[in-house]
A and B are shown apart, each in its own frame.
Chain A
Amino acid sequence: MYLQIMEQIKQKVAVGEWAPGEEIPSIRMMAVALRISVITVKRAYLELEREGVIVTQHGKGSIVATDPGLGPRLYDRELEEHLEQVVRIGTLLGLNSKQMVQRLRDTASRLNEAQLRDEEFAKENL
């Protein structure tokens, strides 16, 4: 459950809904608003602080971290997690790293083609 909260907050930050340096609701306020336990929210905030997304000032509540590279850094971390997942599953399937990289390339080009096709379609129909 706390992961969902973390996701929600990270999205708000990445999109810019909550600006760097801006105050976010206190743990208790957030718990009341979401109708869930304080401890779950507390954990989410703790993890977010560890990841550098937010900063908790003692006795004053929490604010979005004022790190300018925050948005890209969030996504960078997510990329890292996904890459680890790819390696684990690839290993389960018995692939070596060269094969995994090939699969990555194949997927990238497949998605690229799809995107180009979409753009063509959009151009023709506007």
Chain B
Amino acid sequence: MTDLAVQFAGVSKKYPHFTLQDVDLELSTGSIMGFVGANGAGKSTTIRILMGLIHQDSGTVEVLRHTMPAQQAAAKRDIGFVSEDMRLYGALTLAWHMNFIRSIYPQWDQLYAEKLLRRFDLKAEQKIKGLSHGQRVKAALLLALARRPRLLVLDEPTTGLDPVARREVLAELVAVLADEERTIFFSSQNTGDVEQISDQITFIDRGRIIDSANKETFLDRWRRLRLIIPSNAVLPQLPGVIEVGGSARLPVLTVNRFEPAMVAACQDAGVAVQAVDAMTLEEIFIANVQSRREGVIA
């Protein structure tokens, strides 16, 4: 039985204009989960429920074996949280924040903090209000990373970062996982980042989890098939066809349960398989969302 760092069961939360419904989530210790969704899909709400900052209407939430939100103070001792809308105290310096965090958390690693200062190109003596957006994000990440928390919960950690900064942040996040007792949960609109570093991926749309699996499974199962249908042939019925594009004679099928046998099935029916293309996570996400919105997948 794998150790679960985070477990959601049937979590729902209702707002006047938005409802989070029936969220089930499982994150094993020692892995990274990327949480992908459009704006307003419910990523931030889910993350806040995870942190105990919002109380769910129904369902149970367990984080690091603590029940949320009741035991949030204890849980937060081992969680590092950075969200996009989080601000530090503008009139104070980064050094003050570092000392403040250090005074609260005994696990603070000063040497690592200094290494991160250099790597992220930040000056401790600078006031927060003098930092650019990217620098502020890096500062907040530094404060969370230097404590070496068992769980990192990050809401859009790379949004608004320049390419160099993004690369460094991703490298630091992956480095966290060198310790197999540590776990990361992060949400992002940048599917490239999610594809690169995630072990598990969860898609959310309009308040519902629409898919959750390990990354390799996603990348294996989704394919685009480019077919050529000669005049005397008929396209066979294939399972898991999400979308049919292209033209009648040159269709492009998007499938979410690809088996090599499908190629043989097509060829047996006299249909030529011109190409079987892998799909990027972005393409998979878009196809998934679009087809659900159109009601193709239940």
- Nearest A residue to B273 via CB reads A92
In the bound assembly, the distance between CA atoms of A40 and B32 in angstroms comes to: 12
| CB-CB under 8 A for A35 and B196, given A28-B177, A28-B178 | yes
Least CB distance from B215 to A in Å reads 6
B197 & A36 in contact (Cβ 8 Å cutoff): yes
| CB-CB under 8 A for A37 and B197, given A43-B216, A92-B272 | yes
Chain B residues with CB under 8 Å of A92's CB are 272
- CB-contact partner of A39 in B171, B180, B215, under 8 A: B215
In the bound assembly, the distance between CA atoms of A35 and B215 in angstroms comes to: 15
- Nearest B residue to A34 via CB reads B174
Least CB distance from A75 to B in Å reads 24
Is B170 engaged at the interface, CB distance under 8 Å to the other chain? yes
Chain B residues with CB under 8 Å of A35's CB are 167, 170-171, 174, 196-197
Chain A residues with CB under 8 Å of B216's CB are 2, 39-40, 43
Chain A residues with CB under 8 Å of B196's CB are 35-37
- CB-contact partner of A29 in B31, B178, B198, B200, under 8 A: B178
Least CB distance from B58 to A in Å reads 32
A37 & B171 in contact (Cβ 8 Å cutoff): no
Least CB distance from B41 to A in Å reads 22
Chain A residues with CB under 8 Å of B32's CB are 37-38
B31 & A31 in contact (Cβ 8 Å cutoff): no
| CB-CB under 8 A for A28 and B180, given A36-B174, A37-B197 | yes
A39 & B31 in contact (Cβ 8 Å cutoff): yes
| CB-CB under 8 A for A37 and B180, given A32-B174, A43-B216, A92-B272 | no
A37 & B174 in contact (Cβ 8 Å cutoff): yes
Which residues of A pack against B, CB within 8 Å? 1-2, 28-29, 31-32, 35-40, 43, 92
Chain B residues with CB under 8 Å of A32's CB are 174-175, 177-178
Give me 28 A-to-B residue pairs in the complex whose CB atoms sit less than 8 angstroms apart, sorted by A's number.
A1-B219, A28-B177, A31-B174, A31-B178, A32-B175, A32-B177, A32-B178, A35-B170, A35-B171, A35-B174, A35-B196, A35-B197, A36-B174, A36-B196, A37-B32, A37-B174, A37-B198, A37-B199, A37-B215, A38-B30, A38-B32, A38-B177, A39-B31, A39-B198, A39-B215, A39-B216, A40-B215, A43-B216
- CB-contact partner of B177 in A1, A2, A31, A40, under 8 A: A31
In the bound assembly, the distance between CA atoms of A43 and B196 in angstroms comes to: 14
Chain B residues with CB under 8 Å of A43's CB are 216
A38 & B31 in contact (Cβ 8 Å cutoff): yes
In the bound assembly, the distance between CA atoms of A35 and B200 in angstroms comes to: 16
Is B214 engaged at the interface, CB distance under 8 Å to the other chain? yes
Contacting residues of chain B (156-198) with chain A, CB-CB under 8 angstroms: 167, 170-171, 174-175, 177-178, 180, 196-198
Q: A28-B178, A32-B174, A37-B199 are in contact. List 9 more A-B contacts (CB 8 A).
A: A28-B177, A31-B177, A32-B177, A35-B174, A35-B196, A35-B197, A37-B198, A38-B199, A39-B199
Chain A residues with CB under 8 Å of B171's CB are 35
- Nearest A residue to B197 via CB reads A37
Least CB distance from B85 to A in Å reads 27
Least CB distance from A103 to B in Å reads 20
